[in-house]
């Protein structure tokens, strides 16, 4: 300050340079980094009395901070912020300064927004498994686009009419379409032209044109050498739409947050229904959406039919325009006409497109060359255009050859030698290649380029040339020149110039220059030799799972191609003598390096290659029967291996993806003993799986037994649901079979149906209909007046169709239950025909006995008693037609229709009908032409979602699987006795479910290989080789009456006691897995609930469901294994020397039973009392009783003082201590309060209330610390390890009150593992089963607070856990675990010796603990 003064002390601190001002500035310096700071100071002195002074000097106005902007204003202190008008110079200075700051902020905001956009798109792309936009294809087209080319296309009236807005508006201001395309203006614009006429370049021009007006455009380029699936096309379009549209992008992000999974291996119908029909097309989009799809005719015929069917069902209100290109006529035009798709059409090769060729030719020819030629021979450009006939490719090729002509005569010769047919030109090029010194090299390159499954990179091609003909190319820029420019290199990918080149080289025009079959044989041979080489050698150490195979940076250039495509080339080898050498190579591969191959596949995160390889190997083996014996050892080895490969993906798939290296040890050990993988790779380990059911693969994955009758079943993408006679609906996860939810319908659930894409579920009884949301919450219910005959959702899940017994079809809105107009499926005066005794037909109104709808096809099937099948085409023309089975066209009483199944695959026009006379018939529902018949006595039918498989349940309780097209029998599945009530397929068509009696069975036969995994057009010809024999498969039957209910170990011995549903108790030897004895002193068919063993007195105490309690002294054999029959007989005799000490019936349900350490008494706990019964007196008189009011009371022997007992009450929040002698209390009556735990090793404290504690504590003898686990609410996947240290508990029987004891809690994140159930404490470790099915352990030798990770030992196959409910398992020795699988005991001997150390996840934002290299400990 320059003026003013005062007597206050703080005024001195306002002097420039004072300590206070410096401190303030220093403090502000740390918080102003993100502030756009301007400092303005006065430039004119202020009048103050007789003098003029600067009130605030520049030194005081400027803070001197980093990034600070300073500016002086031509004003005094009073007028510094006062302006006379907007033209005031000082006002304009401030305005410019503020605008500059705003622009800087906008730049930062845009950069941040762009980064957020990239992160969101990366997240969506990873979820969809779509690597990127097809920008490379677009850029390649733009490179071929010359200035001014293709403008005729976008200026054409047909194109301008196709656009929904005026593209030439200044700005341009694009008007939004909210009600779809205008009337009479087609959604589709179809550009056709012959091969090489520039259609792809034109598509690139359209994309650039739309982008220049900032319109949302998604595009896709089909290519002849690649056959992308429909799913890949749809997901690519969806990804591009999300990139340009905020609404779509955030819809996908919300979908992923809800846990919905869709990727490139999902079914295309599900993707279309879920992504497009269910989401994008329901949005009120702010501007039109454009699709450009090039070379649509290169799409496979089956996929093209499905795509056209999808396009035809897009609602007119959807603001979508689609531009497609293809060759004229052909399959595309036929499908467009069949689906009645209205379109505008344009064609290349016309006058306007010839102008483009003219411009291209003139850009390539120098003016001097044109002038020289014109003077001597005429118009060069006109001659080239005339001979091109509109084929851009021809012009491109001829220009390359003219560049090599150095004289007028050579140019004329070049033009005269090339006929109008391109094959002639190719022949000339080929003749030059044959005569060149690089003929062998060119032949090798062309062979690989033509026959490779996918375009090779230049490095890959150089490597395969080296492997094939031992020539090492120095550079990769000579490929095109060596091959006469028949190939091109774009973005480092080598491919033929056009599809016509491939057709020419493999056709008769070139005398089969590239014989396909021989070429595939040679490539397959090189691939197998490479797979058998060092790059795929398995780890040499037996610590296999710890060491990944040599992959990653050290991969050979050819590794990826050989791994992915060897089976493709095998499948394309025709049987001949030249292919005989492949079988030994294949046998060597299966016997040596196949595990490394599987590991590499699993590391990609996708196992679909295993299924594709299985299909290709089956095709190859089927063809080789013509030249080699099926009894050949290599043939047998490979055939059995293909069966193993199918099961690997289905049973061990999640575990392989989670830890690919487990293929070296855990998977071979867990595979059945008869499998090739176990036989070749599992026997070298000392670890064993001891059980009675793992000898061979079982076609039945699992079976669910229920207490009431199973009446209905439905299957969705992620779950399946079972309707029971007790009125409940149980929902299970498809992948793991775990129970997700149980809903109460309120009456027997006779019908179930699942939504197509939303996860909704509808259930129906006799009187009520209920619809459940995606999370199984009840949405609405309605009363129905008649018995319903079936249930179906509409394709978009917006409606529910309910056909009734009286012929009506009720229609409801699925979201709110609003009743809509009934669906009319009957003609007026509809009747059924029946023959009278006099042979005359009489009309009468009857009730249908069967009504099934196909909303996808718009057809309803109706069956009346003794009448022909009626088909109602309710969606098209409301007509009703009758299908007359062959033999009944001219009258006669037709057999009763029992069931029908629609094939809803748009590529096939089929449906199946089962008749009471035993015939199974397929027909075309549109022409009513009967196709095939099979005599079976089927009464239940189901079609797979992909339309390839038909399942039929017959009167012999056998399920027959047919190829729907042709009705070829694939296999029969039998051995179960009860009648089949229903069959339903899973969404992937590889698994199906049946219901019969009170069970639901899950099947996954090896014959159900997805046929649409074929990767080229030869898949059709391979179908005959894929047809398996119609064998009867007998599965192992689970004995539900023998299911194990409880298991306990006989102390530290090698014996286990298992109580069963039938009331028996079996004794198992953990060293051999055998049942040593079966004890039957409980009533038959009364399940055993509790087993307790006292090792000191050798007393077994058992309790059954009838409350009967029996104490028995059992003499166990010695631990030395019996080596001869006499010793075995003695051991068996010892086990049956029983001494019953106590036998009585408890007054109430027994919750818990414990034997005192000295075996003088047994403690029996019931809901109301706990009693102590003496052993040896054979009396039920209790010597002591204790009454508890806690609903959750749990007794536990004291781990360090055998004379004491622990009692936990009130959900483990109160501890009582008793003495065994007379149950005398050692703590105050109110017990000791246990303070709820708070995690002391977790960055985020969880909110109150604290988590509920379990009533189960785990302890080990000699340790005073008890442990349990709880799920903490402070973070996803966070587990709390709760501990109680008894060392700090003071026992004083005379005290009247006791202070609280704090429970300890250590919170840890176990990633995706989590704790599903605790197996118990063993030595210094807490063992648990993770949610992913891994047996893990946490060391307790040190405090849990200092533990940095846990140990994964091995995984349990999901099929073993299916339907098991609570897992019954325990650690039985240092290295072994025993677990119950329904009616069997499985001993995993030595499996705990496998150790993979895994770090806890860090949740506090700090540095995560690094995950060490997995270590597997084996002897």
Strands 343-347 and 1194-1197: unpaired
347 CB neighbour count, 10 Å cutoff: 16
pLDDT, average across residues 742-749: 94
The answer to whether residues 1332 and 1355 touch, using CB atoms and an 8 Å cutoff, is yes
The answer to whether residues 432 and 484 touch, using CB atoms and an 8 Å cutoff, is yes
pLDDT at 8 (0 to 100): 62
Share of the chain above pLDDT 70, in %: 82
pLDDT at 1310 (0 to 100): 81
Q: Minimal CA–CA distance to 1340: which of 1352, 1351, 1353?
A: 1351
pLDDT at 951 (0 to 100): 95
pLDDT, average across residues 691-718: 84
The answer to whether residues 701 and 720 touch, using CB atoms and an 8 Å cutoff, is no
* 325 against 392, higher pLDDT: 325
pLDDT at 1064 (0 to 100): 94
Tokens 């979820």 correspond to 127
Distance CA 390, CA 674 (A): 63
Share of the chain above pLDDT 90, in %: 31
pLDDT at 1026 (0 to 100): 37
Sheet holding 929-935, edge to edge: 897-903, 910-915, 919-924, 929-935
pLDDT at 1150 (0 to 100): 93
* 113 against 123, higher pLDDT: 123
pLDDT at 174 (0 to 100): 40
Strand partners, 46: 53
For 277-304, the pLDDT digits (tens) are 888 998 888 788 999 999 888 888 788 8
Q: Minimal CA–CA distance to 200: which of 561, 440, 488?
A: 488
Residue 1388 has pLDDT above 80, yes or no: yes
pLDDT at 433 (0 to 100): 86
Sequence-ordered alpha helix ranges (H) in 1272-1385: 1358-1361
pLDDT at 317 (0 to 100): 87
1220 CB neighbour count, 10 Å cutoff: 22
Tokens 């042709």 correspond to 966
The continuous run of DSSP H or E covering 589 comes out as helix 582-591
pLDDT at 781 (0 to 100): 95
The answer to whether residues 776 and 760 touch, using CB atoms and an 8 Å cutoff, is no
Q: Minimal CA–CA distance to 591: which of 521, 628, 644?
A: 644
Distance CA 87, CA 80 (A): 15
pLDDT at 1019 (0 to 100): 36
* 931 against 184, higher pLDDT: 931
Length of the chain: 1419
pLDDT, average across residues 1271-1294: 79
**CA contacts within 13 A on the Cβ side of 145:** 21
Q: Which of 128-142, 441-455, 645-659, 1335-1349 has the highest mean pLDDT?
A: 441-455
Residue 1389 has pLDDT above 80, yes or no: yes
pLDDT, average across residues 1326-1339: 89
Distance CA 1245, CA 1311 (A): 19
Strands 949-954 and 959-963: antiparallel
The answer to whether residues 1141 and 1106 touch, using CB atoms and an 8 Å cutoff, is no
For 213-255, the pLDDT digits (tens) are 888 999 999 886 677 888 889 998 999 898 888 888 888 888 8
Strands 1377-1381 and 1369-1371: antiparallel
Residue 547 has pLDDT above 60, yes or no: no
Distance CA 474, CA 61 (A): 70
User: Where would I find the beta strands (DSSP E) of 845-958?
Assistant: 850-854, 859-863, 869-873, 879-883, 897-903, 910-915, 919-924, 929-935, 938-943, 949-954
Distance CA 64, CA 956 (A): 94
pLDDT at 711 (0 to 100): 95
pLDDT at 478 (0 to 100): 74
pLDDT, average across residues 1310-1316: 77
Sequence-ordered alpha helix ranges (H) in 1326-1377: 1358-1361
Q: Minimal CA–CA distance to 1138: which of 1164, 1116, 1119, 1153?
A: 1116
Q: What is the CA radius of gyration of the chain?
A: 40
Residue 797 has pLDDT above 80, yes or no: yes
pLDDT tier, 584 (very low <50, low <70, confident <90, very high otherwise)? very high
pLDDT at 1132 (0 to 100): 60
pLDDT at 1363 (0 to 100): 56
Non-local CB neighbours of 1175 within 8 Å, separated by 6+ positions? 1099, 1111, 1141, 1142, 1155, 1159, 1160, 1161, 1162
Residue 485 has pLDDT above 50, yes or no: yes
The whole-angstrom distance between residue 842's C-alpha and the CA centroid of its chain comes to: 56
Render the burial of 13-36: b for 16+ CB within 10 Å, e for the rest: eeeeeeeeeeeeeeeeeeebeeeb
**CA contacts within 13 A on the Cβ side of 602:** 25
For 1129-1177, the pLDDT digits (tens) are 555 656 667 888 889 999 899 999 999 998 889 999 998 889 999 887 6
* 584 against 418, higher pLDDT: 584
Distance CA 999, CA 700 (A): 13
For 890-900, the pLDDT digits (tens) are 777 889 999 99
Q: Minimal CA–CA distance to 1238: which of 1204, 1281, 1275?
A: 1281
Instruction: Give the three-state DSSP class for 362.
Output: helix
pLDDT at 1083 (0 to 100): 93
For 1095-1123, the pLDDT digits (tens) are 888 999 999 999 999 999 998 876 555 55
pTM: 0.68
Residue 190 has pLDDT above 90, yes or no: yes
The answer to whether the bond into 608 is cis (omega within 30° of 0) is no
pLDDT at 1362 (0 to 100): 63
Residue 546 has pLDDT above 80, yes or no: no
Q: Is the dihedral of CA 110, 111, 114, 119 positive or negative?
A: negative
Mean pLDDT of the chain: 81
Q: Minimal CA–CA distance to 571: which of 1233, 1021, 99?
A: 1021
The answer to whether residues 854 and 902 touch, using CB atoms and an 8 Å cutoff, is yes
Distance CA 570, CA 638 (A): 12
For 913-938, the pLDDT digits (tens) are 999 999 999 999 999 999 999 998 99
Q: Minimal CA–CA distance to 898: which of 784, 804, 788, 789?
A: 789
Residue 726 has pLDDT above 60, yes or no: yes
Instruction: Give the three-state DSSP class for 226.
Output: coil
Q: What is the DSSP letter of 12?
A: G
Distance CA 948, CA 693 (A): 32
Residue 1410 has pLDDT above 50, yes or no: no
pLDDT at 96 (0 to 100): 84
pLDDT tier, 843 (very low <50, low <70, confident <90, very high otherwise)? very low
Distance CA 1341, CA 1349 (A): 13
Of 255-259, 534-538, 1102-1106, 1222-1226, where does mean pLDDT reach its minimum?
Answer: 255-259
Sheet holding 1325-1330, edge to edge: 1315-1322, 1325-1330, 1334-1339, 1349-1355, 1396-1399
The answer to whether residues 1153 and 1109 touch, using CB atoms and an 8 Å cutoff, is yes
pLDDT at 830 (0 to 100): 46
pLDDT tier, 736 (very low <50, low <70, confident <90, very high otherwise)? low
At 1310, list the tokens.
Answer: 């176990």
Of 879-888, 1319-1328, 1343-1352, where does mean pLDDT reach its minimum?
Answer: 1343-1352
For 813-838, the pLDDT digits (tens) are 999 999 999 888 876 544 444 443 44
Q: Minimal CA–CA distance to 1048: which of 1107, 1106, 1088?
A: 1088
Q: What is the DSSP letter of 283?
A: S
At 980, list the tokens.
Answer: 């089949």
pLDDT, average across residues 937-947: 93
pLDDT tier, 733 (very low <50, low <70, confident <90, very high otherwise)? confident
pLDDT, average across residues 1271-1286: 79
Strand partners, 1058: 1047, 1066
pLDDT at 1152 (0 to 100): 93
For 83-103, the pLDDT digits (tens) are 888 888 888 888 888 888 887
Helix pair 458-469, 439-451: axis angle to 10 deg: 120
At 767, list the tokens.
Answer: 């009187």
């Amino acid at each position: 300050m320059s003026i003013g003064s005062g007597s206050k002390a703080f005024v001195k601190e306002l002097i420039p340079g004072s300590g206070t001002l410096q401190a303030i500035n220093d403090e502000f310096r740390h918080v102003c980094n993100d502030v756009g700071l301007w400092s303005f100071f006065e430039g004119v002195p202020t009048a103050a009395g007789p003098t003029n002074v600067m009130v605030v000097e520049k030194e005081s106005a400027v803070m001197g901070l980093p990034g600070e902007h300073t500016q002086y204003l031509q004003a005094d202190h009073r007028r510094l912020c006062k302006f006379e008008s907007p033209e005031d110079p000082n006002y304009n200075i401030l305005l410019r300064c503020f605008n500059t700051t705003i622009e800087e902020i906008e730049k930062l905001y845009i950069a941040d927004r762009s980064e957020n956009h990239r992160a969101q798109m990366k997240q969506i792309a990873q979820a969809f498994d779509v690597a990127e936009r097809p920008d490379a294809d677009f850029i390649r087209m733009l490179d071929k686009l010359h200035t001014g080319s293709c403008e005729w296309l976008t200026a054409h009236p047909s194109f301008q009419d196709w656009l929904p807005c005026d593209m030439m508006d200044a700005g341009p201001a694009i008007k939004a379409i909210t009600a779809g395309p205008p009337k009479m203006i087609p959604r589709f614009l179809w550009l056709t032209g012959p091969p090489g006429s520039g259609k792809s370049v034109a598509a690139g021009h359209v994309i650039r044109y739309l982008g220049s007006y900032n319109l949302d455009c998604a595009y896709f380029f089909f290519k002849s050498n690649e056959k992308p699936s429909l799913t890949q096309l749809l997901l690519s379009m969806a990804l591009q739409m999300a990139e340009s549209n905020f609404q779509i992008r955030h819809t996908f992000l919300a979908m992923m947050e809800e846990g919905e999974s869709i990727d490139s291996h999902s079914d295309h119908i599900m993707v279309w229904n879920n992504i497009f029909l269910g989401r994008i097309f329901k949005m009120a989009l702010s501007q039109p959406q454009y699709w450009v799809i090039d070379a649509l005719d290169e799409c496979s015929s089956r996929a093209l039919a499905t795509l056209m069917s999808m396009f035809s069902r897009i609602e007119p209100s959807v603001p979508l325009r689609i531009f497609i290109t293809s060759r004229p006529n052909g399959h595309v035009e036929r499908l467009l006409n069949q689906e009645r798709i209205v379109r505008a059409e344009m064609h290349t090769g016309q006058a306007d497109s010839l102008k483009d060729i003219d411009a291209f030719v003139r850009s390539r020819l120098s003016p001097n060359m044109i002038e020289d030629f014109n003077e001597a021979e005429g118009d060069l450009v006109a001659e080239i255009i005339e001979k091109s006939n509109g084929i851009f490719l021809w012009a491109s090729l001829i220009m390359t050859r003219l560049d090599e002509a150095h004289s007028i005569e050579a140019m004329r010769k070049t033009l005269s030698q090339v006929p109008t047919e391109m094959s002639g030109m190719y022949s000339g090029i080929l003749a030059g290649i044959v005569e060149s010194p690089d003929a062998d090299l060119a032949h090798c390159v062309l062979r690989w380029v033509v026959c490779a499954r996918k375009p090779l990179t230049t490095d890959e091609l150089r490597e395969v040339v080296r492997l094939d003909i031992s020539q090492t190319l120095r550079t990769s820029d000579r490929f095109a020149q060596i091959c006469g420019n028949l190939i091109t290199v774009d973005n480092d990918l080598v491919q033929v110039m056009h599809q016509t080149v491939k057709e020419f080289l493999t056709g008769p025009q070139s005398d089969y220059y590239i014989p396909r079959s021989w070429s595939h044989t040679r490539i397959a041979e090189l691939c197998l030799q490479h797979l058998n080489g060092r790059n795929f050698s398995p780890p040499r150490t037996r610590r296999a799972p710890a060491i990944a195979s040599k992959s990653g940076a050290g991969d050979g250039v050819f590794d990826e191609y050989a791994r992915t495509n060897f089976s493709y080339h095998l499948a394309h080898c025709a049987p001949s003598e030249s292919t005989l050498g492949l079988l030994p190579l294949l046998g060597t591969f299966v016997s040596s390096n196949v595990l490394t191959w599987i590991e590499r596949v699993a590391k990609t995160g996708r196992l679909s290659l295993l299924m594709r390889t299985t299909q290709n190997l089956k095709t190859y083996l089927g063809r080789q029967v013509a030249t080699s014996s099926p009894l050949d050892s290599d043939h047998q080895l490979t055939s059995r291996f293909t069966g193993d490969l199918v099961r690997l993906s289905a049973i061990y798939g999640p575990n392989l993806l989670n830890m690919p290296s487990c293929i070296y040890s855990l998977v071979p050990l867990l595979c059945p003993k008869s499998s090739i993988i176990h036989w070749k790779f599992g026997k070298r380990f000392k670890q064993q799986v001891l059980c009675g059911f793992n000898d061979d693969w079982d076609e039945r994955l699992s079976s669910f037994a229920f207490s009431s009758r199973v009446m209905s079943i439905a299957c969705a993408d992620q779950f399946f649901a079972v309707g029971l006679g007790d009125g409940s609906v149980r929902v299970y996860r498809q992948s793991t079979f775990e129970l997700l939810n149980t809903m109460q319908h309120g009456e027997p659930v006779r019908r179930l149906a699942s939504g197509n894409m939303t996860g909704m579920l509808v259930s129906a009884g006799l009187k009520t209909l209920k619809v459940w949301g995606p999370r199984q919450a009840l949405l609405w219910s309605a009363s129905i007046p008649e018995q319903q005959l079936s249930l179906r959702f509409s394709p978009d899940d917006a409606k529910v169709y309910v056909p009734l017994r009286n012929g009506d079809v009720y229609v409801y809105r699925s979201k709110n239950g609003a009743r809509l107009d009934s669906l009319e499926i009957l003609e007026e005066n509809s009747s059924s025909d029946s023959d009278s005794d006099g042979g005359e037909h009489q009309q009468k109104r009857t009730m249908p006995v069967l009504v099934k709808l196909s909303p996808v096809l718009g057809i309803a099937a109706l069956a009346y008693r003794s009448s022909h099948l009626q088909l109602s085409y309710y969606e098209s023309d409301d007509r009703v037609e009758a299908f007359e089975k062959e033999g009944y066209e001219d009258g006669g009483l037709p057999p009763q229709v029992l069931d029908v199944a629609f094939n809803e695959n748009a590529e096939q026009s089929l449906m199946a009908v089962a008749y009471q006379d035993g015939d199974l018939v397929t027909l075309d529902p549109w022409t009513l032409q009967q196709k095939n018949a099979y005599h079976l006595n089927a009464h239940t039918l189901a079609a797979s979602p992909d339309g390839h498989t038909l399942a039929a349940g017959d009167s012999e309780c056998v399920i027959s699987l047919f190829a729907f097209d042709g009705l070829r029998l694939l296999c029969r599945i039998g051995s179960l006795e009860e009648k089949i009530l229903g069959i339903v397929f899973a969404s992937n068509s590889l698994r199906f479910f049946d219901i019969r009696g009170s069970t639901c069975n899950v099947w996954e036969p090896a014959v159900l290989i997805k046929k649409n995994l074929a990767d080229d057009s030869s898949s059709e010809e391979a179908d005959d080789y894929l047809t398996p024999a119609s064998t009867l498969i007998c599965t192992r039957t689970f004995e539900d009456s023998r299911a194990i209910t409880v298991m306990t170990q006989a102390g530290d011995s090698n014996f286990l006691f298992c109580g069963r549903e039938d009331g028996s108790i079996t004794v198992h030897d953990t060293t051999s897995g055998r049942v040593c004895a079966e004890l039957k002193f409980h009533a038959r068919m009364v399940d055993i609930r509790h087993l307790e063993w006292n090792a000191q007195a050798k007393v077994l105490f058992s309790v059954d469901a009838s409350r009967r309690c029996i104490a028995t002294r059992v003499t166990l054999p010695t631990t030395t294994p019996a080596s001869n029959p006499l010793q075995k007989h003695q051991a068996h005799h010892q086990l049956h020397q029983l001494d019953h000490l106590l036998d009585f019936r408890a007054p109430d349900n027994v919750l818990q039973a414990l034997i005192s350490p000295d075996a003088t008494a047994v403690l029996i706990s019931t809901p109301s009392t706990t009693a102590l019964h003496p052993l040896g007196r054979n009396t039920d008189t209790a010597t002591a009783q204790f009454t508890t009011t806690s609903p959750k009371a749990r007794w536990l022997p004291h781990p360090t003082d055998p004379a004491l007992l622990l009692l936990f009450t009130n959900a483990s929040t109160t501890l009582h201590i008793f003495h065994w002698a007379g149950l005398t209390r050692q703590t105050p009556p109110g017990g000791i309060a246990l303070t709820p735990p708070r995690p002391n090793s977790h960055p985020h404290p969880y909110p109150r209330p604290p988590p509920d504690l379990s009533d189960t504590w785990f302890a080990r003898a000699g340790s005073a610390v008890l442990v349990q686990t709880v799920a903490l609410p402070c973070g996803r996947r966070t587990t709390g390890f709760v501990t109680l240290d008894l060392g700090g508990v003071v026992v004083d029987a005379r005290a009247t009150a006791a202070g609280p004891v704090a429970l300890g809690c250590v919170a840890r994140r176990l990633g995706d593992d989590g704790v599903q159930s605790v197996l118990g404490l063993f030595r210094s470790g807490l063992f648990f089963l993770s949610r992913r099915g891994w047996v893990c352990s946490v060391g307790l030798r040190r405090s849990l607070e200092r533990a940095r990770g846990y140990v994964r030992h091995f995984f349990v196959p999901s099929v073993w856990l299916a339907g098991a409910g609570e897992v019954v398992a325990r650690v039985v020795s240092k290295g072994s675990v025993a677990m119950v699988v329904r009616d069997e005991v499985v001993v995993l001997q030595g499996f705990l010796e496998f150790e993979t150390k895994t770090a806890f996840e860090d949740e506090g934002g700090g540095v995560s603990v690094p995950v060490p290299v997995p270590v597997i400990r084996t002897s």
